[in-house]
Structure 1
Amino acid sequence: MKFDKKQPTPTTQSGRAPWEIPYEGWTQVADEVFVEGVKLSTDLIGKISWTHPIVVLPPPRAGSNAVVRDKYYYHGPHPGEPEVGDVRIFYECSGISGSTRVAAQERVSIIAMFRDGQFHSFPLRKGRAVEFLYRGSKSIQEMFDAEQALNTARTWLLRLVGFLLMFLGLNIMTRIIVTLVDWIPIVGSVITFSVTLFNLTLAASLSLLTIALCWMWHRPLFATSIFGVSLLPWFFSAGRAKSAHHRR
C-alpha cells in the first residue's frame, strides 16, 4: 500500500499509525532457579526454552482500556471483531515449580557436575564442558544420544555450507571464462554448463577430501573411504577420455 505525501497518514482510533506497535516483547529471567533444592547455573537456566501460556489473567488495572479475552489482554473497541491497529498481549511462563492452573509441575533431566550445592558444567579436555538439561524424565543414554544427533546434524550442516561456499568461490574464479564466450549463441551455453558442472564436481571432491583429512587420525578406514569417493569423478572422467582416444 502506498500513500501520497500530500495525504494525511492514516491512524487508528487510538491515534497511532497501523504499523506502530505500542508494546515490545520482553523476557524476565529469574536470578536463581532451583531443582529439588539444587541451584542451576546460568547456562542450565538458558536451556529452559519451552513455555506455557498463562490462561488465567488478573483484571486490567484501573484506567486501562484493555479487556481480558481468552488468554489475551485486548486493546480495542470490539474484541470479537478485531480492526487494524488493535493490540493483543499475552504472557508465557516456563519452569513451573508446583501444580498451578497453568500446567503441572515441570520435570527435567540434568547431566552436570554437583559441587558446593550447585550444578556446574563438567570440564573436559581442550576447554570443552558438559552441561545438559532436557525436559521430562530421560535416561543418561537418551540425553547423550540426543546430543550426539544434534552434533551430527550441526556438523553436516557446516559441511554443506562449506561445500556451497567452495562452489561459489569456484564460480567466481571461472566467471571470466563464461563471460568471454557467453555472447556466442550455442557455444556459450555449452561452455557455461560445462564450467558449472566442473566447478560442482571440483567443489564436491575438495569438500570430501577436507572431511577425509579431518577423520584421518580418529577413523582412518572411514577417512580412506571418503578419500576414494572424492576421486571417483576424476577416475571416471579419465576412463571416458581414454576410451574416446582409443575410438579415434
Structure 2
Amino acid sequence: MAYTSGDPIYAKTASLGAFKLNESIIKRIGSEAKVNLTNEDLAKMSPEIKGKAKILDGLIFIGKDSGNAQVGDLKISFSKIEPKATITIRAKQTGNSFSSFVTKNGTSIEEVSMGVKTAQEMDQSAQDSNTFRTWALRVIGFIAMAIGISMIFKPLQTMGDVLPILGDLLGLGINIFSGIVAFVISFITIAIAWFFYRPLLSIGLIVVAAAIVVGFKYYKKTQADKNTQPAKA
C-alpha cells in the first residue's frame, strides 16, 4: 500500500521581523528546506509520540513495519524556511500582521516573492503570470471546442468506415474543419472580451476571423469549380 500525502500543517508563530505571518502568506513562501530529524529530536518529543514512533530517513514513522505500509501508518516530515531568507510581501498591513488588499474592482492582492523586489517587478511578475494563465485557458478552450465539434460529426466518419479509405479521409476532413471552426470561434470570443478594453485589437481579431472564413469559402468554391469544369476534347 502506498502512502498518500496529507494536508500540510503550517507553523502558527512564523514572523517576518516584527510582523506575524498568516497561513495564506506562509503557503506562498518557497525555498523550503527539508529538516532531517534524528533520534535526539525524537527524544525531545512527548512520551506519547516517543512510545510508538521511530526515525526513518529523517522522518517520523509511526507504524509496525515501514516496508509494509498499513492503513493508519504515518510518515511525518518537517520543512523550514531558513532564518536568513529574504522575501518581499505585497499586502495590506493589519496591526502587526498582513491581510489581502481588495481593490475597487474586487481583485484581492496578497503576493509573496523570494528576494528583494520592487513594486514594479512584482507588478510585472503578476502580469506575466496572469498572461500565461490566460493564454493557457484559451488554448485549452480551443482544444476542447475543436474536440467537441469533431465529435458532433463523428457519426459521419463512422458511416464512412465501411470503406477504410473513405473513413480516413472523412476523419481528416472533419478534424481540419473542426480546427478551423474552433479557431474562428475562439478569435471572435477573445475579440468580444477585449472590445471594451482594446477596441482596435478586438476589431483586428474579428477581421482576421472573417478573413479565415472568406478564405475557406473561396478555397472550397475554387475546388468545386475545378471539379465541374468540362473535360477538353
TM bin, normalised by shorter chain, reads 0.7 to 0.9
Taking structure 1 as the reference length, the TM-score comes to 0.72
State yes or no: 1:93 paired with 2:72. Answer: no
The one of 207, 216, 231 aligned to 2:186: 207
Task: Give, in angstroms, the shift of residue 189 of structure 1.
Answer: 2.1
The sequence identity of aligned pairs, in percent, is 23
- SS for the counterpart of 2:143 is helix
Distance 1:30 1:243, change over 3 A: same
- SS for the counterpart of 1:126 is coil
- SS for the counterpart of 1:133 is strand
Could you tell me which amino acid in structure 2 is paired with residue 46 of structure 1?
K
Instruction: Name the structure 1 match of 2:143.
Output: 164
State yes or no: 1:147 paired with 2:126. Answer: yes
Distance 1:66 1:216, change over 3 A: same
| Aligned equivalents of 1:64, 1:120: Cα separation in 2 | 40
- SS for the counterpart of 2:214 is helix
The Cα RMSD (Å) is 3.1
Which structure has more helix as a fraction of its residues?
A: 2
Distance 1:25 1:181, change over 3 A: closer
Task: Give, in angstroms, the shift of residue 116 of structure 1.
Answer: 2.4
Task: Give, in angstroms, the shift of residue 37 of structure 1.
Answer: 0.7
Distance 1:138 1:57, change over 3 A: farther
Deviations, residues 33-59 of structure 1 (Å, cap 9, x unaligned)? 321111233321221243112246343
Distance 1:58 1:232, change over 3 A: farther
On the 8 A contact 1:53/1:90 being kept in 2, the answer is no
On the 8 A contact 1:51/1:92 being kept in 2, the answer is no
Instruction: Name the structure 1 match of 2:215.
Output: 236
Structure 1 runs (4+) greater than 6 angstroms displaced: 62-65
Alignment of 1:7-86 (within 5 A): 19=1, 27-55=8-36, 57-59=38-40, 60-61=42-43, 66=54, 71=58, 85=68
| Aligned equivalents of 1:133, 1:65: Cα separation in 2 | 36
> Would you say how many aligned residue pairs link Structure 1 and Structure 2?
214
On the 8 A contact 2:191/2:205 being kept in 1, the answer is yes
| Aligned equivalents of 1:30, 1:73: Cα separation in 2 | 18
Taking structure 2 as the reference length, the TM-score comes to 0.76
| Aligned equivalents of 1:94, 1:134: Cα separation in 2 | 16
| Aligned equivalents of 2:61, 2:98: Cα separation in 1 | 41
Could you tell me which amino acid in structure 2 is paired with residue 182 of structure 1?
D
On the 8 A contact 1:120/1:131 being kept in 2, the answer is yes
Instruction: Name the structure 2 match of 1:196.
Output: 175
- SS for the counterpart of 1:233 is helix
Instruction: Name the structure 2 match of 1:13.
Output: none
On the 8 A contact 2:37/2:59 being kept in 1, the answer is no
Deviations, residues 121-155 of structure 1 (Å, cap 9, x unaligned)? 11112322111111122222221111111111111
On the 8 A contact 1:212/1:223 being kept in 2, the answer is yes
- SS for the counterpart of 2:135 is helix
Distance 1:67 1:199, change over 3 A: closer
Distance 1:153 1:20, change over 3 A: closer
State yes or no: 1:221 paired with 2:200. Answer: yes
| Aligned equivalents of 1:168, 1:197: Cα separation in 2 | 11
On the 8 A contact 1:40/1:118 being kept in 2, the answer is yes
Gaps of 5+ in 2: 44-49
On the 8 A contact 2:100/2:108 being kept in 1, the answer is yes
- SS for the counterpart of 1:119 is strand
On the 8 A contact 2:22/2:98 being kept in 1, the answer is yes
| Aligned equivalents of 1:185, 1:232: Cα separation in 2 | 34
- SS for the counterpart of 1:127 is coil
On the 8 A contact 2:30/2:114 being kept in 1, the answer is no
